[in-house]
Structure 1
Amino acid sequence: MTDSYAVFGNPIAHSKSPYIHRQFAEQTGQELAYTKQQVNEGEFEQAADAFFAGGGKGLNVTVPFKLDAYGYAARLTPRARRAGAVNTLAKQPDGTLLGDNTDGIGMVNDMHNLGWEIAGKRVLLLGAGGAVRGVLQPLMEQEPASVTIANRTVHKAEQLSKGFADLGVIEPVGYENLSQKEPFDLVINGTSASLSGELPPLPDDLLAEGAACYDMMYAAEPTPFLAWAESHGAEQRADGLGMLVGQAAESFYVWRQVRPEVIPVITAMRHTLSAKKGA
C-alpha cells in the first residue's frame, strides 16, 4: 500500500509541496502519494484526525495552522518547541504523532548550498514574528558573531531575545536605531513586506562590504527587499525558494529517513518561475 502524505493550509491552491515531494520520491525511489488539502479555520483537528485515521503517515502544515499542529502533536522535537510552531507531523511506529519544525534548518542548509558563511558574521533579522522565531535556533547554532533583531514594535523583538537568551546574546532594536549600529554581514528579511511590495525603513549604510541579503519570501521577480539589497551593494542575494525546498527535504527525511537532493528541484522550480515571468 502506498504511504500517504499531505499538506494542510488555507489557502492551499498555490502550494508547491506536492510537486516538490513528487520529485523527491522519484529521486529516491520512495513509493508515496502526496496531496494538498484546504482546511477550514477551526477544523484542523478534525481534518488531521480523519487523515491519520485513514492511514496517513505524515503532514506538512502551513498558514494558518502551525500553532494548531503544535498543540495537536503528542511529542515535539526541541526545534519545534523552540519555534513555538509545527510545520511537520510524523506518525511514529507506536502510533503517536511527532511535531517538528523544519523551516530554520531549511534556511540554514540553503545558505550552505549557496556557499554562504554564517559563523563569525554579524547577522540582522528583520521582523519578530513567527517566521523569525522559527529560524532562530538553527541560526544561533551556526555561531554567528552577533545577532540583532529589528522590528517596528521593539517589545516583540525583546521577547524573542529573552526566549532564546540561553543560546547567545540577541540584541533587540527598533528600525529607527539601525543607523546607529555597525554594518551587518548578513541581513535576513523575515517580514511579510515582500508580499505587499513594501519595505521596512532601512538606513543606506546598513550593509558591510561583501554583505549577503536573504529574503524568506520568493517570487519570479526580485522581491522589494532584494531589489533594495542590489541597489545598496549587497554582494550576494537570494530569495526563499531554496528555503522552501530545503524545509521540504528535511520533512521528507523526518518521514522516510532518506535525504533527497535539493539542487535539481530548486533549479527546476526556478526555471518554471522564469518561464512564467517571460510568458
Structure 2
Amino acid sequence: MPDIGGSTRLYAVLGDPVAQVRAPGLLNPVFARLGLDAVLFPVHAPADRFGAIISGLQLISNLDGLLITVPHKFDACRYADELSPAAALVGSTNAMRREPDGRWYGDNFDGAGFVAGLRSAGHDPRGKRVFLAGAGGAGTAIAAALLGAGAAHLSVFDPDPDRLSALTDRLDRSAPGRATGSGAPRLHDADVAVNATPLGLNPGDPLPFAPHRLPAGAVVADIVMRPRETELLRKAASLGLSVHHGIHMLDHQVALYRRFFRLDP
C-alpha cells in the first residue's frame, strides 16, 4: 500500500460507474517501483455533476493528472486548455496532465493501447476488415488508431445516428473512403469485431453484436475489463472464434501513461 502523506502527489481516474476501473491496480505499483510519492485513486463522477467535479479537482494544487473513462471522454475535452493532435482528431481525451504553468493538457491513448494489445496477441489489423460497435469516447479513438494501423476497411455501428455521423465524418477527413457507418452491425465479412461500448459491464446486459454472424476465423475483441470474461467473449469462444480481452488495452497504455505524466527518471 502507498505511504500517503502531506507531500504525496495525486492522480485521479474519473468515471460513471467507476467500480470497474483497473488503472489504480496497474499504476500505483509503477509509482512504488519508481520510488515516487504519488497515488492514483478512483472518483465516481456522475454525469450530471461531472463539470463541477473535474473543475474542483483541477483546483487541487497537489493533483498532477487525471484519467478519464466512460462516459466522460468527450465532455472532458472542454476542461483541457490544449489537446494533443490525437485527442483533437477524435474529439475525446482519456488522460490530462497539469503543465508547469498550471494549464491542463489532454491526450488520448485508448486507440494506441488497443492496437498495441492486438498486435502483441498476434492480431495485426493491417489489411483486415474490421467491425466496430460503439462511436463513443473509446470507440472514436480506437477507430482512428485502427485506420492508422492500416486496417483495409472499418465498419462502425452505433444506435445514435448523430454520434455515428460525427465519427464517420471525422474518419473520412483523415482516411477517405476507408470507413463507413451503419445503423445495423455489419459482421458477415469482418476479420476482427470489436466491442467499444460499455455493454458487458453489468450482468444481464445485451450483447453488443451477435458473434454467430461472424465468419469462421474472426477475432472478437472487447474493451470491457471487468468482468474479464464478458458474455460476448464467452459466446464467441463457444463458437470457436478467437477472443481478445479488454485488459490488453490498458496493459499497453501503462508505458504511454508513464511518458505522458513524465514519471520516468
- Tell whether the structures are fold-level matches, with TM greater than 0.5: yes
Change (3 A) 1:160 1:253: same
1:116 maps to which of 90, 104, 123: 123
RMSD, aligned CA = 2.7
Q: Which of 166, 172, 179 is matched with 2:181 structurally?
A: 172
Structure with higher helix content? 1
Identify the residue that residue 94 of structure 2 maps to in structure 1.
87
SS across alignment from 1:86: coil
Shift of 1:33: 2.2
Say if 1:48 and 1:18 are closer, same or farther in 2 by CA, change over 3 A.
farther
Per the TM alignment, residue 192 of structure 1 is displaced from its structure 2 partner at its CA by 2.9
1:153/1:119 Cα in 2 relative to 1: closer, same or farther (>3 Å)? same
Structure 1 equivalent of residue 246 of structure 2: 240
Alpha-carbon distance in structure 1 between the residues aligned to 2:17 and 2:164: 28
Q: Which residue matches 1:71?
A: 78
Q: CA deviation at 1:156?
A: 4.3
Tell me, in whole angstroms, the C-alpha distance in 1 between the residues paired with 2:35 and 2:244.
30
- Write the mapping of 1:1-279 to structure 2, written as runs, cut at 5 A: 1-39=7-45, 41-42=48-49, 44-45=51-52, 47-152=54-159, 156-168=163-175, 169-175=178-184, 178=186, 181=188, 183-195=189-201, 196-200=204-208, 202=210, 204-207=212-215, 209-220=216-227, 222-234=229-241, 236-256=242-262, 258=264
Aligned partners of 2:161, 2:43: CA distance in 1, in Å? 37
Distance 2:92 2:206 in 1: 26
1:98-151 alpha-carbon deviations (Å, 9 max, x no partner): 011221112112112212211111111123333311312222110111111133
Runs of 5+ unmatched residues, structure 2? 1-6
C-alpha separation between the residues in 2 aligned to 1:231 and 1:154? 32
Measure the CA separation in 1 of the matches of 2:84 and 2:235: 36
Any unmatched runs of 5+ in structure 1?
260-279
Identity %: 28
Give the length in aligned residue pairs.
Answer: 254
Cα separation, partners in 2 of 1:158 and 1:22, compared to 1, 3 Å: same
Deviations 1:15-45 (A, max 9, x none): 3322211122234444422222334543534
C-alpha separation in 1, matches of 2:158 and 2:245: 20
Structure 1 residue 201: deviation in Å? 5.0
User: SS of the counterpart of 1:193?
Assistant: coil
Q: CA–CA distance in 1 between the matches of 2:104 and 2:235?
A: 42
